[in-house]
A and B are shown apart, each in its own frame.
Chain A
Amino acid sequence: MSTLRVSGLHKQFISAAELLTVLDGIDLEMSAGEDLAIVGPSGSGKSTLLHILGTLDSPTSGTVEVAGVNPFELSPIKLAAFRNRTIGFIFQDHHLMPQLTVAENVLLPAIAQGRPSEKVRQRAQQLIQEVGLAQRELHLPSQLSGGERQRVAIARALLNHPKLVLADEPTGNLDATNTQSVARMLFDLPKREQAMLILVTHSDWLAEQAQRCVRIENRHLVVIR
């Protein structure tokens, strides 16, 4: 069973000769198929926590375990492989490769492991269909709307059956209509994969769609729901 265990997580930054504590003793546990929204004021450390959970940043102290593995004990190469297989990212700015087609963007995580197999390609095709872009497979990101690009990002994040999907302000740049459609995909698809979903959002509405909600206040995690 996939789980997420965070215990005593601290994160400090050094800035202008002073120490800035952003997260101070964060504890968190999640199980497979759960979704969690993290809310809080700007600069509270929401994205920092997300980035640590996604191994894009490292904690000053404390432990993180994803599916029983502490990724920060892995070598850089094994960490990359771990990230590739275990974690899916959805960024506010989608970060699609402008030179690749929709299909190629979705297959990007598989390219990291070599040429995608037939099975992986079928998986990608299925995901593209599920996000409603089957007719746009060969289009470049410049030919898509903002919402469509975010849907491609969702499909990319799910390609390798990640155990943990992290979304950082996934609807931050979208209008209301696109927000709803993207939000629907965001919650439905990971749940279907039994993946854990953690999203950071300023949107109360989006936060309410999640099963659980926590807030970061004064560097600590406060459970709302």
Chain B
Amino acid sequence: MGSPGIFTLVLRSLSYFRLMHAALAGGIAAATAVIVGALVVGDSVRGSLRALVIERLGNIECAMFARNFFNEDLVLAVNQAAQSSHARATPIIMLPSVSVERSDGENFVRAGQVQAFGVKDDFWMYSTGEEITRLFTKLDIDQIVLNQALANDLGVKIGDEVTLRLPTVAAVPADSPLGRRDESSIGLPRQKVVAILPDAGLGGLSVRVGQSLPRNVFLPIAALQDSLNAKQKANGALVFTENGNRPSGKASAADLCDRLNREFQPELTDYGVQLKRHRRVFPEADIGEKKLPSLEPSEVVFDYYQFSSDQLVLDDGTVNALMGALGHSGMRTMTYLANFISVVGEVKASLEVPYSIVVGVPEETALPLASFTTERPAEIRRRVCWVNSWLAERLKIIPGTMLRVHYFHPETVDGREVETSVELYVLGIVPIVEPVTKYDGDRPAVFEVRPTVFNDPHLTPQVPGVTDQDSINDWDLPFDLKDEKITKDDDLYWENHRLTPKLFLPLSTAESLFGSRFGTTTAIRVNADETTDESELVRTATAAMLTAKPGFGMQFQPIRQQQIMAASGTTPFDGLFLSLSFFVIVSAILLVTLLFRLGIEQRAAQWGVLLAQGFTHGQIRRLLLCEALPICLSGAALGVVVGIGYAKLMILGLETWWLGAITVPFLRFSFTPTSLCVGAAIGALTSLLAIYWSLRRLSQKQALLLLRGKWDTDMLTKREIGKLAMSTCGICVLAALGLIFLGSGQSGMVRAGSFFGSGMLLLISSLVLLREWFAFPRIGANVHQAVGGLRQVAWLAICRNPLRSMLSVGLLAVASFLISSMSVFQITASPKGYGGFDLIGEMSLPIFVNIGSGEVRAEALGEREGALKKATIVALRSRPGDDASCNNLFKPEQPTVLGIPPAFERQQASMPQSQAFQWAGRVPGDSLPWKHLAVIAPGTFEAPIPVVIDQNTAMWSLKQGGSIGAISKFEFDNRTLHFKTVGLLAGSILQGKLMIGEQNFHTAFPNLNGYRYYLINTFGENRQEIVKTLETGWSDQGLDIVSSQEVLSRLLAVQNTYISAFQSLGALGLLLGTFGLAIVQLRSVLERRRELALMRAVGFSGRQISKLLLLETTLLLSGGMLVGIVAAMIAVVPYVLETGPQMSVAQPIGMLAIVFVIGTLAGLVAIRSALKQNVLAGLRTE
């Protein structure tokens, strides 16, 4: 005889009751499968995003995208350093947004927001993909390569010709009065398509992260260099590595970039900085043809080096870098063009001097202004100036005269110059000397008398089209000159002195008047005697500019690692699908609990015997847990296999009927061993805990009861509902009412959540009441109150096992509640999200005038402007970036930023509140959060920029938590900017963007000029006509207009898809619940076989038995679903009353109906089993 122990008991039980255990393992497998499936979906999404990045970047490891053009040979130097790391660098010209068009006879087919890459031949060599080298190895001028997505949009094939519309590259910012605004695009016509790249791979190359397919065009860099007047220049570089030599991880990629950055050494001209020496001696040593006799040795009038910019103004980064290196030797100046100067109080036109140069200089300077100062400036509480002797004579100025200087504001407003003026007190008159010979082309003027330091035209930067002209009338400026103001004297001054300043200001005054977001300095002077030689100065300045290099974007970034990091995503799909599948998991766990309970109930007598033999309750519990453990483990293992199938099904769902959640189909199935192990462990552990919970009342079970085969006591005949149950119900109902009350005053997710919570509480209280009703059913005290009819028999049968019935009903109720109520969260695109704008326009290339102005439109469109007469257009500044809406699964690193003009706030304030943008969050009592955007802030941590964001963006993409006052930070152009949320929009068309005030936009992005984003209100009239007029009028800039409804529907599709998925998975959980119900019914029939046999023996027909059992099934099924649906309706009624019926009822009704039918059919299985039994066999005791 062997020596059996507890494990013998366990093993024997596992073997003997294997069918029962197999069913339990099946339930555990179901729960595990859902958990594993959700985790694997997360793996697949992350893996697919990562694969997308790797596929699109190919061998590209690092990249640089500079703000301006630099000498492409700089990249050659970098290449040498790169080669030591088995990397290769190549220069590129990258234009992030161009327009491409194809002529279609009379019409044009256009595609906007196209990325253009101007590349050298080695780009193709270094790129991955044999296909590319098979297609071609070299592109000739006028040959281009498109990716498939762009080819499809345009409807082009190989051999077709297209035209590219490129942005103009202007030295002087277009938003400054001297910047060109009339032409914003350059055409590159007749470009022949020689190849079309598949979208997978290099064809999908993108500098921005997002799963949406970019539109790409590749062309020879020389073609772009010619068009953009940037010979031998590039504005970017790509660094390629190869498989096997790729940097492993973030740190080594950063190391590579550091090495490349150290080697990338731009010269001053690459930053747009010029250095010239200006020296004047008297008498001149060589003045060309005419040589004056020299009576005295030459003396230096002035001798200095001057740094200036191609853009007229030196940006703050450059100034800080240079001044930091130069220290006291550097002197900043600010030079500006005054439209005209007049004497205050003087109205004669003859006493105005037009188009004069004004310069601001520091107080301690090589210009001896103090010597000509009659009073102390500090004693004069006005802005002061000095004028030169020519101006003084011309306008009859003496010290103490008040002058009015008229000038254009240093930044245009809505694309137009705005003239303003300032009054200045003349402190002194500085002398200039008239030359004997005037300027002649490049030949300077000749002086017979020693010129003064104020005879210095070099204080004014060179302006192409101006400084190279012989007459003021020939100046080529973006605004019209008032020729009538130009007198002969003015022309003579020009001929003798060119741009020699007529008026001098303290530098601080000049900065305050003429400074702009572009800068407050036009030049930096260094006296020649304060430096050793020019080359030393160049070396010092070049070294200093290395600190400003990042500000110019001249910084290699580990783009591969950055995009792979962004591929970790903003939406954790594993967590999301776990949430969506939450109810299926709960259903499966409840099913596990149900199956386990059925099993131990069936073996109740055994537990009684063990207790009678001296086993303790604890021993029996451990015995059962030991039995359950291998079942849990095997169920979990099976669940892993099924879970992989479930994940594939979910992915199929995401690629098809739930495509709205991911926007484009790109998913590939993949998994990690970690997910499988974690899922299996959670499934096994959760099931084990559910089983443990089922056993917690074991110690309360009496041996006697168990020996009789009963797990629960017979139903008691108490007629009163327990006090604990009453209290619980009361608390739940009160809490539900409280939540409804609190939620009524809120909006968005808070409101929806409160109603949902109240519904759940009502559901819980209903289930508690039902539990009491099950446990304490009415029983007739006498014959007259005795059982009447099959209905009451069915009811009493249900109440035999209250907890079992409760589990079934509870499962059905919760599932029905979720399916019914989730529809309330579905949102249809409502005009409330449009903010009063029914159209949205976006340009590929910016324009520098504001088409919100009727005048501007009339100028541009002529008669066609009539179609737009009644429309309102608001033009917004835009910094295109990553889409931070739910449509983008990648983590946005640099979201799109919109600059909101004051006109927008006025427009929103003037609209009826129901039509303006709706708010999901704002400071209490704040009627219009838009006004906070006017607060100026530099974007530091201490002073974050006020921002308005859509609530969905704040919560889901930026993970801010969606609260007012939350701070976000982003890296833009190698600078960290902080933003503070001052308003949260509710379900708006502006999802995915950061809205900041226009002023702050200019400060944060000073180099972005023009407008590219438009909100249009057609007032419902002539919409098609308006769209056509605008798109045709600005077709060169690639203006594309879409309806707000379309945009909002696309944005809301994500949320609605998730809700739909939740409902579908909820229905799956409900199905599991009906499966559990069927098992319960079958078990009930088995337990009552004697009783049913007796009923047959005393005359109940098979039909009546069927009716009884069907009644029981229907009561449980319909009772559970009814409780759930009613709780859902109560929860959503206040929401529906407030917002109007937006929910879709067809889907939930359909799901519930299908599940009801399946549940009833499952009940029929139990009926069939009961009717199959032999009456006599059922009556036997054994």
Q: CB-CB < 8 A to A118: which residues of B?
A: 3
Task: Name A112's contact: one of B619, B703, B707, B718 (CB within 8 Å).
Answer: B619
Q: Does B17 contact A (CB under 8 A)?
A: yes
Task: Name A80's contact: one of B6, B611, B702 (CB within 8 Å).
Answer: B611
Q: Does B1165 contact A (CB under 8 A)?
A: no
Binding stretch for chain A, among B602-610, B667-675, B677-685, B1108-1116: B602-610
CB distance from B611 to the nearest CB of A (A): 7
Q: Does B15 contact A (CB under 8 A)?
A: yes
Question: Do A112 and B609 have beta carbons less than 8 Å apart?
Answer: no
The interface bits of chain B over 605-621 (1 if a CB of A lies within 8 angstroms of the residue's CB, else 0) are 11011111111111100
Question: Do A91 and B707 have beta carbons less than 8 Å apart?
Answer: yes
User: Given A95-B609, A99-B15, do A111 and B6 touch, yes or no (CB 8 Å)?
Assistant: yes
Question: Do B707 and A121 have beta carbons less than 8 Å apart?
Answer: no
- Of all chain B residues, which has the CB nearest A124? B1
Q: CB-CB < 8 A to B717: which residues of A?
A: 16-17
Q: Does A131 contact B (CB under 8 A)?
A: no
Work out how many contacts link A and B, with CB atoms closer than 8 A. Answer: 96
Within residues 671 to 716 of chain B, which ones have a CB less than 8 A from any CB in chain A?
Answer: 699, 702-704, 707
Question: Do B614 and A80 have beta carbons less than 8 Å apart?
Answer: yes
Q: CB-CB < 8 A to A173: which residues of B?
A: 1181-1182
Task: Name B610's contact: one of A51, A99, A108 (CB within 8 Å).
Answer: A108
Q: CB-CB < 8 A to B2: which residues of A?
A: 103
Q: CB-CB < 8 A to B617: which residues of A?
A: 76
- Of all chain A residues, which has the CB nearest B623? A111
Give A114 to B622 CA distance when docked, in angstroms: 13
The interface bits of chain A over 93-121 (1 if a CB of B lies within 8 angstroms of the residue's CB, else 0) are 10101111001100111011111101001
User: Given A77-B616, A80-B614, A109-B614, do A56 and B4 touch, yes or no (CB 8 Å)?
Assistant: no
Q: CB-CB < 8 A to B608: which residues of A?
A: 95
Q: Does B13 contact A (CB under 8 A)?
A: yes
CB distance from B847 to the nearest CB of A (A): 85
- Of all chain B residues, which has the CB nearest A157? B613
Residue of A81, A99, A116, A156 ringed by the most chain B CB atoms within 10 A: A99
Q: Does B107 contact A (CB under 8 A)?
A: no
Within residues 113 to 161 of chain A, which ones have a CB less than 8 A from any CB in chain B?
Answer: 113-116, 118, 121, 124-125, 137, 156
Question: Do A115 and B5 have beta carbons less than 8 Å apart?
Answer: yes
Q: CB-CB < 8 A to A114: which residues of B?
A: 5
Question: Do B707 and A95 have beta carbons less than 8 Å apart?
Answer: yes
Question: Do A112 and B613 have beta carbons less than 8 Å apart?
Answer: yes
Q: CB-CB < 8 A to B702: which residues of A?
A: 56-57
Interface size on B, residues (CB 8 A): 36
Question: Do B616 and A121 have beta carbons less than 8 Å apart?
Answer: no
CB distance from B775 to the nearest CB of A (A): 15
- Of all chain A residues, which has the CB nearest B11? A99
Q: CB-CB < 8 A to A93: which residues of B?
A: 605
Question: Do B704 and A85 have beta carbons less than 8 Å apart?
Answer: no
- Of all chain B residues, which has the CB nearest A97? B606
Give A98 to B2 CA distance when docked, in angstroms: 18
Question: Do A112 and B3 have beta carbons less than 8 Å apart?
Answer: no
Question: Do A112 and B4 have beta carbons less than 8 Å apart?
Answer: no
Within residues 1 to 41 of chain B, which ones have a CB less than 8 A from any CB in chain A?
Answer: 1-6, 8-9, 12-13, 15-17
Question: Do B616 and A80 have beta carbons less than 8 Å apart?
Answer: yes
User: Given A95-B707, A99-B12, A99-B13, do A115 and B3 touch, yes or no (CB 8 Å)?
Assistant: yes
Q: Does A33 contact B (CB under 8 A)?
A: no
Question: Do A104 and B4 have beta carbons less than 8 Å apart?
Answer: yes
CB distance from A100 to the nearest CB of B (A): 6
Task: Name B614's contact: one of A84, A98, A103, A124 (CB within 8 Å).
Answer: A84
Give A49 to B616 CA distance when docked, in angstroms: 22
- Of all chain B residues, which has the CB nearest A103? B1
Question: Do A84 and B613 have beta carbons less than 8 Å apart?
Answer: yes
Q: CB-CB < 8 A to A156: which residues of B?
A: 613
Question: Do B704 and A57 have beta carbons less than 8 Å apart?
Answer: yes
Residue of B2, B614, B703 ringed by the most chain A CB atoms within 10 A: B614
Give A9 to B1036 CA distance when docked, in angstroms: 106
CB distance from A84 to the nearest CB of B (A): 2
Question: Do A107 and B4 have beta carbons less than 8 Å apart?
Answer: yes
Give A142 to B4 CA distance when docked, in angstroms: 20
- Of all chain A residues, which has the CB nearest B13? A99
The interface bits of chain A over 68-93 (1 if a CB of B lies within 8 angstroms of the residue's CB, else 0) are 00000000110011111100010101
Question: Do A121 and B1 have beta carbons less than 8 Å apart?
Answer: yes
Question: Do B5 and A89 have beta carbons less than 8 Å apart?
Answer: no
Q: CB-CB < 8 A to B15: which residues of A?
A: 99
Question: Do B612 and A116 have beta carbons less than 8 Å apart?
Answer: no
Q: Does A190 contact B (CB under 8 A)?
A: no
- Of all chain A residues, which has the CB nearest B608? A95
CB distance from B366 to the nearest CB of A (A): 103
Give A121 to B13 CA distance when docked, in angstroms: 21
CB distance from B45 to the nearest CB of A (A): 47
Q: Does A54 contact B (CB under 8 A)?
A: yes
Question: Do A83 and B1 have beta carbons less than 8 Å apart?
Answer: no
Q: CB-CB < 8 A to A80: which residues of B?
A: 611, 614-616
Give A80 to B717 CA distance when docked, in angstroms: 32
Q: CB-CB < 8 A to B612: which residues of A?
A: 54, 56, 83, 89, 95
- Of all chain B residues, which has the CB nearest A118? B3
Question: Do A99 and B614 have beta carbons less than 8 Å apart?
Answer: no
User: Given A95-B608, A97-B606, A111-B5, do A85 and B614 touch, yes or no (CB 8 Å)?
Assistant: yes
Question: Do B609 and A81 have beta carbons less than 8 Å apart?
Answer: no
User: Given A99-B12, A100-B9, A104-B12, do A125 and B616 touch, yes or no (CB 8 Å)?
Assistant: no
Q: CB-CB < 8 A to A103: which residues of B?
A: 1-2, 4
Residue of B5, B13, B609, B702 ringed by the most chain A CB atoms within 10 A: B609
Give A100 to B1 CA distance when docked, in angstroms: 13
Task: Name B9's contact: one of A57, A84, A111 (CB within 8 Å).
Answer: A111
Question: Do B16 and A99 have beta carbons less than 8 Å apart?
Answer: yes
- Of all chain B residues, which has the CB nearest A128? B1
CB distance from B607 to the nearest CB of A (A): 10
Question: Do B615 and A112 have beta carbons less than 8 Å apart?
Answer: yes
Q: CB-CB < 8 A to A115: which residues of B?
A: 3-5
Give A108 to B606 CA distance when docked, in angstroms: 11
Question: Do B610 and A112 have beta carbons less than 8 Å apart?
Answer: yes
- Of all chain A residues, which has the CB nearest B779? A16
Give A57 to B707 CA distance when docked, in angstroms: 12
Q: CB-CB < 8 A to A95: which residues of B?
A: 605-606, 608-609, 612, 707
Question: Do A83 and B707 have beta carbons less than 8 Å apart?
Answer: no
Within residues 605 to 663 of chain B, which ones have a CB less than 8 A from any CB in chain A?
Answer: 605-606, 608-619
Q: CB-CB < 8 A to A113: which residues of B?
A: 614
- Of all chain B residues, which has the CB nearest A94? B609
Q: CB-CB < 8 A to B615: which residues of A?
A: 80, 84, 112
CB distance from B317 to the nearest CB of A (A): 80
Give A85 to B16 CA distance when docked, in angstroms: 29
Give A137 to B2 CA distance when docked, in angstroms: 11
- Of all chain A residues, which has the CB nearest B619? A112
CB distance from A102 to the nearest CB of B (A): 10
Give A95 to B608 CA distance when docked, in angstroms: 9
Give A56 to B608 CA distance when docked, in angstroms: 9
Residue of B5, B610, B613, B1182 ringed by the most chain A CB atoms within 10 A: B613
Give A91 to B608 CA distance when docked, in angstroms: 11
CB distance from B716 to the nearest CB of A (A): 8
Task: Name B718's contact: one of A17, A51, A54, A85 (CB within 8 Å).
Answer: A17
Give A56 to B615 CA distance when docked, in angstroms: 12
Question: Do B613 and A125 have beta carbons less than 8 Å apart?
Answer: no
Give A116 to B17 CA distance when docked, in angstroms: 25
Which 7 A-B residue pairs are closest in the complex by CB-CB distance? A84-B614, A99-B16, A115-B5, A99-B12, A80-B616, A95-B609, A112-B614
Please name 11 pairs of A and B residues whose Cβ atoms are closer than 8 Å in the assembled complex, sorted by A: A17-B717, A56-B704, A84-B614, A95-B606, A98-B16, A99-B15, A100-B9, A108-B610, A111-B5, A114-B5, A115-B4
Name B's A-contacting residues (CB within 8 A): 1-6, 8-9, 12-13, 15-17, 605-606, 608-619, 699, 702-704, 707, 717-718, 1181-1182
Additional A-B contact list (11), CB under 8 Å, known A95-B609, A99-B12: A16-B717, A76-B699, A85-B614, A93-B605, A100-B4, A108-B609, A108-B613, A109-B614, A116-B3, A116-B5, A124-B1
